[in-house]
Amino acid sequence: MVKAAMDHRGIEKLLSEMTLKEKVGQLTMLSGELVQTGPASAPVTSDAIKNGEVGSLLNLVGSERVRDAQRHAVEGSRLGIPLFFSLDVLYGLRTMFPIPLGESSAFDPALWEATARVAAEECAVEGIDLTFAPMIDIARDPRWGRTLEGPGEDALVGQRVARAKVRGYQTDDLAAPTAIAATAKHFAGYGAVLAGREYASVDMSERLLHEVYLPPFRAAVEAGVACLMPAFIDLNGTPMSIHVPLLRKLVRERWGFDGVIVSDWSSIAELLLHGVAARPEAAALALNAGVDIDMMGKGAYVDGLPEALDRGLVTMARIDEAVRRVLMLKLKLGLFDDPYRRCGSPEAIAASAAQPARRALAREAARKSIVLLTNTGATLPLKGSLKSIAIVGPFGEIAGGNSEPPPAERVAALVDQVKAAFPEAAVSVAAGSHVEQPREGGLAEALRNAEQSDVILLCLGERVDMAGEASSRAYPGLPQPQQDLARALLETGKPVVVLLFSGRPLIVPDWLAAFAKAILAVWHPGSEGEGAIADVLSGAYNPSGRLSMSWPADVGQIPIFFAERPTGRPRLENEHFSSKYLDIPNDPRFRFGHGLSYTSFLLSNPRATRWTIAAGETTEILVDVKNTGAMAGEHTVFLFIRDVASSITRPALELEDFTKVMVAPGEMKTVRFALSSDQLRFLGADLEPVLEPGAFEIFVGPSANPAQLQMLELQVRQVEARQAQPSPKSM
């Protein structure tokens, strides 16, 4: 039995007492099998725990269950080493928040942290020590279903999400009563799978990897993330689970990450299918690359490591290093002090669940995530005097996703919330169609209700399982039956307000964008989504969400994102030899940063406190934001840069900062951004950061739409010592 007062020395002593089998056990994570998040597998047995064959479990939730399994480890195994328990907590455990892509649209790091905090508090009374979140894979291809789980297309947003989430889950002490360990995943480049097809390989330049896909992970490591998960993918010819240059050299040696690296579900065993190695070589390659834990390994580590050791493919020192990191994580989590510390009593769980503040936060998160995409003729907010509202669309099927209440209750909740917001209106409901199939008699019923209503709230989109893992879609749009329903309703001539539920940017057909009176992206908004939707429809909340990912106008544009590098032949409508499609629109339907409000804002007088800076210096960029409308509103202001001439080409726009400001009608506020010379650096030819002198264009505005940006120019003085080559700016 392990003594209560464990410390670093105790860990070394424990390590010295462990058999090889027990060591490999610590490096083995098995499923509790209550939740299925990967291909079927044999569940863990109490004997395996007692024999020290497993060091951690995933997908076992609930205080009593966890306590039970832990008892086998602590009381039944030779050394009594506690297990840790882990789970994917993508958007909450009991209180459900909007999906991460939706939440990223809030552009609100304090909110991102607060929702992670609540998720951690709920986990910490139900036996969970570690979550496999945040997912910080940048994604520029909406065909890929896991856009749902991530921060969207931009690296800066990804970095801010990473920091906020790590702080929210972990606080600054993993042993604090409500802290749990976070996992930065999936390292790295997963969002760029070939043609958006799940689990496919990734081929990308080192530059793109370092400029866009790695920075969120670095931010997570700098924020002290406890754990990191390599992606399933093959990156440029090497599966990530054995990627020595990235895992060992970059993450461990250069970034100094000393936390645990856990494989993704059986990804070490899958090396065989990548055509790289079978056991025991696969085990040796992964361990030597720095992967400590084999999740659901089908024996990859359990059988592979002892054989690899015999054959000299791994050393005992390497095995010890990995075991030490796992034991250290358990120490930091406080599990040696009290292995049951996160197994709350029924009273603690009930008290935790009953907190109204959590529901209020879920409602706030949902409100802030909703993006008003179009609003013709100020249709929204809807007038309080409406006499009849028809809710139409397969909302019940869509809403069954990330929520505890069953679909029927969600439909009832939507009706209740709409009724509460519009007390004078009669509210009818008709599904109209299924999500992917027509519904017998559905259209007729929907049309009957529509005819008798002042306005139609048309709920369209994807079920939650149409995005997420293993849910790539070649046509990320609205399934045909929903399009048919929408057309029929538009033809009635009644005003149609579309609520789009999705886990990704959806391709909105031209006719829908043109003829719907208003379109709202509501994502999958979580436990309090219906209330948040009603708040936005009625104007009780003035929408402030902005897209963190461009919405394509056509599938042929994918991948489409704002930070593209310039071409020597930019698009000119009247020039044949210019960069454009001839057969589809060339702009995205909705750009990064797009999101309307019920009020209007005017940005003016962009200025800098210093117009010239040198290395190590900072300037401030200021811009005045005036609310020129009639309703208070929150405005998001983005700051982009463009390096006018540089030794390596730079994207036409690079996001450097964003901030939100609440402005009353008629009021003007000044927004300030600190801009340091470090933010003007880029990765030079050797992929090391460099600052080159010369002009930089600074843009401020409400989105990445060039037409909405205001520009000022800044000069960088002084060449850095390491830069021997003449810069193009001096040419």
Q: What is Dmax (Cα atoms) for the chain?
A: 79
Q: By CB under 6 A, is residue 53 in contact with ligand BGC?
A: no
Q: By CB under 6 A, is residue 37 in contact with ligand BGC?
A: yes
Is the distance from CB of 497 to CB of 456 less than 8 angstroms?
Answer: yes
Bridge-partner residues for 261, per DSSP?
228
Instruction: Give the per-residue contact string, 346-385, with ligand BGC (x = CB under 6 A; - = no).
Output: ----------------------------------------
Smallest gap from Cβ 142 to ligand BGC, in A, equals 19
Q: By CB under 6 A, is residue 264 in contact with ligand BGC?
A: yes
- Beta-carbon-side half-sphere exposure of residue 538 (alpha carbons within 13 Å): 20
Rounded CA gap, 263 and 56, in Å?
13
Is the distance from CB of 134 to CB of 186 less than 8 angstroms?
Answer: no
Instruction: Give the per-residue contact string, 440-459, with ligand BGC (x = CB under 6 A; - = no).
Output: --------------------
Q: By CB under 6 A, is residue 643 in contact with ligand BGC?
A: no
Helix (H, G, I), strand (E, B) or coil at 373: strand
Residue ranges in 58-97 that form contacts with ligand BGC under rule CB under 6 A: 58, 88
Instruction: Give the per-residue contact string, 165-204, with ligand BGC (x = CB under 6 A; - = no).
Output: --------------------x-------------------
Smallest gap from Cβ 58 to ligand BGC, in A, equals 6
Q: By CB under 6 A, is residue 211 in contact with ligand BGC?
A: no
Count CB neighbours of 575 within 10 A. 11
Smallest gap from Cβ 5 to ligand BGC, in A, equals 33
Number of residues that bind ligand BGC (CB under 6 A): 9
Is the distance from CB of 48 to CB of 83 less than 8 angstroms?
Answer: no
Is the distance from CB of 643 to CB of 650 less than 8 angstroms?
Answer: yes
Residue ranges in 658-687 that form contacts with ligand BGC under rule CB under 6 A: none
Residue ranges in 528-547 that form contacts with ligand BGC under rule CB under 6 A: none
Structure tokens at 41: 């597998």
| CA-based nearest residue to 700, from 650, 647, 635, 646 | 635
Helix (H, G, I), strand (E, B) or coil at 140: coil
Smallest gap from Cβ 229 to ligand BGC, in A, equals 6
Structure tokens at 176: 């604090």
Smallest gap from Cβ 469 to ligand BGC, in A, equals 5
Helix (H, G, I), strand (E, B) or coil at 544: coil
DSSP label at residue 244 = I
Structure tokens at 93: 């455990």
Rounded CA gap, 676 and 527, in Å?
40
Between residues 31 and 95, which has the closer beta carbon with respect to ligand BGC? 31
Instruction: Give the per-residue contact string, 117-156, with ligand BGC (x = CB under 6 A; - = no).
Output: ---------------x------------------------
Between residues 84 and 265, which has the closer beta carbon with respect to ligand BGC? 265
Q: 725: Cβ–Cβ under 8 A, 6 or more apart, which residues?
A: 647
Q: Is 264 a catalytic residue?
A: yes
Smallest gap from Cβ 130 to ligand BGC, in A, equals 10
Quickly tell me which residue has 């931009």 as its tokens: 154
Tell which phi-psi region holds residue 446, choosing left (phi > 0), alpha (psi between -120 and 50) or beta.
alpha
- Which residue in the list 108, 154, 264, 554 is annotated as catalytic? 264
Q: By CB under 6 A, is residue 234 in contact with ligand BGC?
A: no
Q: By CB under 6 A, is residue 467 in contact with ligand BGC?
A: no
CA 26 to mean position of chain CA atoms: 29
Q: Which of 265, 422, 541, 551 binds ligand BGC (CB under 6 A)?
A: 265
- Quick one: CA dihedral 395, 397, 398, 403, positive or negative? positive
Smallest gap from Cβ 218 to ligand BGC, in A, equals 20
Smallest gap from Cβ 674 to ligand BGC, in A, equals 35
Residues lying near ligand BGC in the complex (CB under 6 A) are found at 37-38, 58, 88, 132, 185, 264-265, 469
- For the annotated catalytic residues, the residue numbers are 264
